[in-house]
Structure 1
Amino acid sequence: MAEHYGWQWHLDWKSALVTALMLPVLVGLGFWQLARAEEKAQMVDAAESRRQSEPVPLSTLPSYDNYQPVTVTGQFDPERYWLLDNRIVNGLFGYEVVAVFTLSDGQNLLVHRGWIPGSRNREVMPEVAIPQGEMTVQGEIYVSPDKPFSLGDVAASDSGWPRRVQWLQVADAQGAVENLVPTMVMLSESSPAAFRTKPVSVNVSPQKHRGYALQWFAMSAALLVIFLLRNSNLAALIRRRKVN
């Protein structure tokens, strides 16, 4: 009796049920990640477009979008500023300075002036030059969406000024500064009163979501292969072809 070498199919209802339930989920997750990647790509394009635009007065904006170049006019508070601790630049210890800037209309604004070197002696606070008089400074709006600032990390520094903290949250700063605009401006390098600054990178990654999508689609393909192997003689046909 001749052996049958053709394709044979024997449906296993258990594996068919699992495949029917899981495959749409895996494929759907893959397409969802692709949609997220497209959304993030549009966010990157919008951020870069804003960054390339001309600076506008902060008071004219209907909303405070990250990376929007702005100008603000007012004067720095001579006493109130924060030192963001443990900021390393090129292997050197230092601080980032976030100052209170009183606008011409009386509101207060957090202005990130950049990085300054610190002393090896942790008990010695750095001297921070405070510009005097009214001036116009330029920078871009930025509030981190991923790593929130927070006050009160160094309890001994909470009662007076300046305050040394690990992170600074705009929402929490409203408890320390009256009439505070709910955003922060990062000074540009060429702006008056700026220390050592650098542009904030657009912290959005479409590639990450594309990688996740690839993983979900690979799992979908693996599930299909397992289903075929379990419900047919495909594995035997492959082995026989290798022998022949």
Structure 2
Amino acid sequence: MADSAPRLRWQLDWKSLLAIVLMLPVLLSLGFWQLERAAEKQRLLDAAEQRRGLSPVDVSSLEEYPNYRPVFAEGRFDSQRYWLLDNRIRQGRFGYEIIALLKLTDGRHLLVERGWIAADPSRQTLPKVDFPEGIQRVEGELYRSLETPYSLGEVDQQHWPRRRQWFDYDRAAEDVDSLLPTILRLSEHSPGALRTDRLLINVSPQKHRGYAVQWFAMAAVLGVIFIIRNSNILTRRKPSAEESKR
């Protein structure tokens, strides 16, 4: 009678047990987090595509200010008060993103992201920023980030223009009266536009899904290693016909 395969035996190794207890939940949670990020980015892309298909409306007529809503506005640029967002790199060149103020014809103020401008690499001087004169009709889309600005303990400057690492709407509202709760990103051909090539998202949903697969694969490998180290599964096999005759 042929010998049967050895029975599966377990002998727990506390080191590998500790490793899987500590690491497996982390790897799985990272994988699911990446899937959530992918879904979030996909919703953002879908909303942006839908809203960008709408016709531009006068920003003064809006009661709500959804991101990516196409709008236009009429007013005068304030050539004295504006913000320079520091450490913005384009194709290896150092520069600033310019946030300007537009005084609308109804007296309220609108923040306008004009785009990127090159700067002095030595950081000794600020760039000269020109502004269109007179009443301008500008176009673009609304976008205001809801993320909390990252602060490096910046000194609160009292002079203009104001250089910042990140733009803080709440601080801007303290400096400017009747400020609309949104920001207009100028389109490429709008008056006052600088360099306006912008990324809608930094990481695509596909990349997030790819990262999730990597985390899940690492969790699977960890599980396989745990089984191998704590059992005789590699040596558990049925003998061949020739071996059973011996």
TM-score bracket for the superposition, by shorter chain length: 0.7 to 0.9
Q: Name 1:205's counterpart in structure 2.
A: 204
TM-aligned CA distance change 1:146 to 1:206, over 3 Å? farther
- Cα displacement (A) at 1:139: 1.3
Kindly report which structure 2 residues correspond to 1:68-83, keeping only aligned pairs within 5 A, or say none: 68-83=69-84
TM-score, normalising length from structure 1?
0.73
TM-aligned CA distance change 1:40 to 1:130, over 3 Å? closer
- Cα displacement (A) at 1:107: 1.8
Structure 2 SS opposite 1:234: coil
Amino acid at match of 1:153: E
Gaps of 5+ in 1: none
- Cα displacement (A) at 1:231: 6.7
- Cα displacement (A) at 1:150: 6.0
Q: Name 1:196's counterpart in structure 2.
A: 195
Kindly report which structure 2 residues correspond to 1:1-244, keeping only aligned pairs within 5 A, or say none: 4-6=3-5, 8-10=7-9, 30=31, 33-119=34-120, 122-144=123-145, 148=149, 153=154, 158-222=157-221, 224-226=223-225, 228-229=227-228, 233-237=232-236
Q: CA RMSD in A?
A: 4.1
- Cα displacement (A) at 1:138: 0.7
Paired residues of 2:112 and 2:186 also in contact (CA < 8 A): yes
d(CA) in 1 for partners of 2:221 and 2:94?
Answer: 50
TM-aligned CA distance change 1:147 to 1:207, over 3 Å? farther
Structure 2 SS opposite 1:217: helix
d(CA) in 2 for partners of 1:149 and 1:29?
Answer: 23
Paired residues of 2:75 and 2:137 also in contact (CA < 8 A): yes
Q: Give CA-to-partner distance per residue, 1:21-62, whole Å, 9 cap, x none.
A: x98997687556435433432222222332343323224445
- Cα displacement (A) at 1:64: 3.0
Q: Give CA-to-partner distance per residue, 1:79-101, whole Å, 9 cap, x none.
A: 21123344444454443321111
Paired residues of 1:151 and 1:168 also in contact (CA < 8 A): no
189-198 or 228-237, which deviates more: 228-237
- Cα displacement (A) at 1:149: 6.7
- Number of aligned positions between the proteins: 238
Structure 1 SS opposite 2:234: helix
Structure 2 SS opposite 1:211: helix
- Cα displacement (A) at 1:173: 0.9
Gaps of 5+ in 2: none
Fraction of identical pairs, as percent: 49
